[in-house]
Structure 1
Amino acid sequence: MNSNRPGVLILSHCGFSFLEDLKEQLQRRQLRCFVLTSLPLAEHVPARLEQIQVWADRLYTADSHQLKLEDVNNALQTLHKSGEQVTCCISVWEGYRHLMAAANAALGTYDIDAQQALALRNKLNVRNQLADAGLSQARAHALTAPVLQTLQAQSARYFIKPIHGIASYAAFPLREDTTWKALETLRLASVEDTVYASAFNDGLQFMAEDYIAGQEFSFETLLIDGQAHVVAIHEKYEVTETADTVLEDSCTTPPASLDQAQIAAGLQWLEKVLTCMALRWGCYHIEARFTGQHWDLIEINPRVGGSLISHSVEAVTHGHSMLSLWLDLLLASQDDHAPRDALAQQLNAFQWQADGISAQSVATFFRVYFAQPGTLSSVALNELPLAPTVKHILLKAGDVIPAHAREVFLGQLLWAFDRSRQAEELERLAHLSATALDIRYEPGTP
Structure 2
Amino acid sequence: MLLLSHVGFSFTEDLVDVVAARGLRCHVLSSLPEPQHQETRPAVLAGLADDVRVTDGHVLTPRDIEEYIDHLQDTGTDVRCCVTVWEGYRHLMALANARLGVPDLDEKQVLELRDKVTLRNRLADAGLSRGRASVLTAGTLAERQREGGRYFVKPVRGIASFGTFPLTAGTTWADLERIAAEARSDTVYASVFAHRPDPGDPADPHSTAPGTAAVQETPGMEFLVEDYVPGREFSFEVVVVDGEPHVVAVHEKCEMTETAGAVLEDACVSPPTSLSREELVAGLRWVSSVLDTLGLGWGCFHVEARHAPSGWDLIEVNPRVGGSLISPSVGALTGGPGLLDLWLDSLLTAHRPAGFLEELKSLSYTADGTPQGGNATFFRVFFADPGTIRGIRLNDGPLRPVLTQVLLKPGDVVEPASREVFLGQVLWSMGHAGRDAILPGLVTASRSAIEVTYEKEHG
TM range, normalised to the smaller chain?
over 0.9
2:363 counterpart residue number: 350
Per-residue displacement from partner, 1:68-97 (whole Å, max 9, x unpaired)? 111111110111111111100000000000
Q: 2:341 — aligned with what?
A: 324
Give the residue type in structure 2 aligned to 1:242: T
Q: Which residue of 2 aligns with 1:391?
A: 404
State yes or no: 1:199 paired with 2:192: yes
Gaps of 5+ in 1: 1-7
Match of 1:377 in 2: 390
Query: C-alpha displacement at 1:348, in angstroms?
Result: 1.3
SS in 2 for 1:349: helix
Structure 2 residue 207 is the aligned partner of structure 1 residue 223: no
Q: Greater shift after overlay, 307-316 or 398-407?
A: 398-407
Aligned partners of 1:111 and 1:383: how far apart in 2?
43
> What is aligned with 1:171?
164
Q: Which residue of 2 aligns with 1:54?
A: 47
Shift, 1:263, TM fit: 0.5
Compared CA separation, residues 398 and 146, structure 1 to 2 (3 A): same
Supply the distance in 2 between the matched residues of 1:402 and 1:80 (Cα, whole angstroms).
Answer: 43
Q: Secondary structure at the match of 1:117?
A: helix
**Do structure 1's residue 264 and structure 2's residue 281 form an aligned pair?**
yes
Deviation at 1:55, TM superposition (A): 2.3
| 1:320 alignment partner AA | P
**Matched residue, 1:45:** 38
RMSD: 0.9
Equivalent position amino acid for 1:412 in 2 = Q
Partner of 1:289: 306
Matched, 1:436 2:449: yes
Which letter does structure 2 place at the counterpart of 1:195? V
Equivalent position amino acid for 2:181 in 1: L
Aligned 8 A contact 1:235 1:253 in 2: yes
Distance 2:267 2:147 in 1: 33
Q: State how far apart, in whole Å, the 2-side matches of 1:385 and 1:127 are.
A: 42
Who is 1:125 aligned against?
A: 118
Q: 2:217 corresponds to which residue?
A: none
1:427 and 1:159 map into 2 onto residues whose CA distance is 31
Superimposed CA distance per residue, residues 12-34 of structure 1 (whole angstroms, 9 cap, x where no aligned partner): 01111111111111111110000
Q: Which letter maps to 2:257?
A: T
Report which stretch shifted further, 397-406 or 84-93.
Answer: 397-406
Bigger mean CA deviation after superposition, 73-82 or 376-385: 376-385
Distance (Å, rounded) in 1 between the aligned partners of 2:26 and 2:64: 17
Please tell me whether the aligned partners of residues 362 and 372 of structure 2 are also in contact (alpha carbons under 8 angstroms): yes
**Alignment of structure 1 residues 267-282 onto 2, 5 Å:** 267-282=284-299
- The answer as to whether partners of 1:375 and 1:445 remain within 8 angstroms in 2 is no
Amino acid at match of 1:250: A
- How many aligned residue pairs are there? 435
Q: Give the distance between the partners of 2:48 and 2:182, measured in 1 at CA.
A: 36
| Separation (CA, whole Å) in 2 of partners of 1:88 and 1:255 | 34
For residues 314 and 347 of structure 2, what CA distance do their matches in structure 1 show? 26
| Distance in 2 of aligned mates of 1:275 and 1:295 | 16
Shift of 1:361: 0.6
Give CA deviations for 1:162-195 in whole Å, capped at 9, x if unaligned: 0000001110100010011111111111101111
Distance in 1 between residues matched to 2:396 and 2:379, nearest whole Å: 17
Residue 363 of structure 1 contacts residue 416 of structure 1 at CA under 8 Å; is this kept in 2? Answer: yes
SS at match of 1:87: coil
In structure 2, what is the Cα distance between the partners aligned to 1:402 and 1:102? 35
Residue 437 of structure 1 aligns with an amino acid whose one-letter code is: I
CA contact (8 A) 1:237 1:250 kept: yes
Tell me the residue number matched to 2:176. Answer: 183
Instruction: Give me the whole-angstrom Cα distance separating, in 2, the residues matched to 1:11 and 1:175.
Output: 39
Once the two structures are TM-superposed, the CA of residue 347 in structure 1 deviates from its matched residue by: 1.3
What is the TM-score of this pair, normalised by structure 2? 0.93
Report the alpha carbon displacement of residue 405 of structure 1 after superposing the two structures with TM: 0.3
| Aligned residues of 1:171 and 1:246 also touching (Cα < 8 A) | yes
Distance in 2 between residues matched to 1:414 and 1:377, nearest whole Å: 24
How far apart, CA to CA, are the structure 2 residues paired with 1:55 and 1:168?
30
Contact 2:128 2:290 (C-alpha < 8 Å) held by counterparts: yes
Residue 421 (1) aligns with residue 409 (2): no
Q: Report the residue type matching 1:55 in the other structure.
A: L
1:312 paired with 2:329, answer yes
1:306-356 Cα distance to aligned partner (Å, 9 max, x none): 00000000001111100000000010113xx3xx11111111112111111
Greater mean deviation of Cα atoms: 436-445 or 123-132: 436-445
Q: Amino acid of the residue matched to residue 416 of structure 2?
A: A
Aligned pairs for 1:68-217 (under 5 A) are: 68-202=61-195, 203-217=220-234
Q: Which runs of 5+ in 2 are unaligned?
A: 196-219
C-alpha deviation, 1:444, in angstroms: 4.4
Distance between the aligned counterparts of 1:331 and 1:230, measured in 2?
A: 19
SS at match of 2:344: helix
| Partners of 1:428 and 1:300 in 2: CA distance | 33
**TM-score relative to the length of structure 1:** 0.96
Structure 1 vs Structure 2: percent identity of aligned residues?
49
In structure 2, distance between residues paired with 1:428 and 1:204: 43
Cα deviation code 1:343-397 (max 9, x no counterpart): 1111111211111112221000000000111111121211333221110001111
Distance in 2 (CA, whole Å) between partners of 1:175 and 1:424 is 39
User: How many angstroms does 1:424 deviate by?
Assistant: 2.5
The question of whether the paired residues in 1 share the 8 Å contact of 2:398 and 2:441 is answered with no
Rounded to whole Å, the distance in 2 between the matches of 1:316 and 1:287 is 19
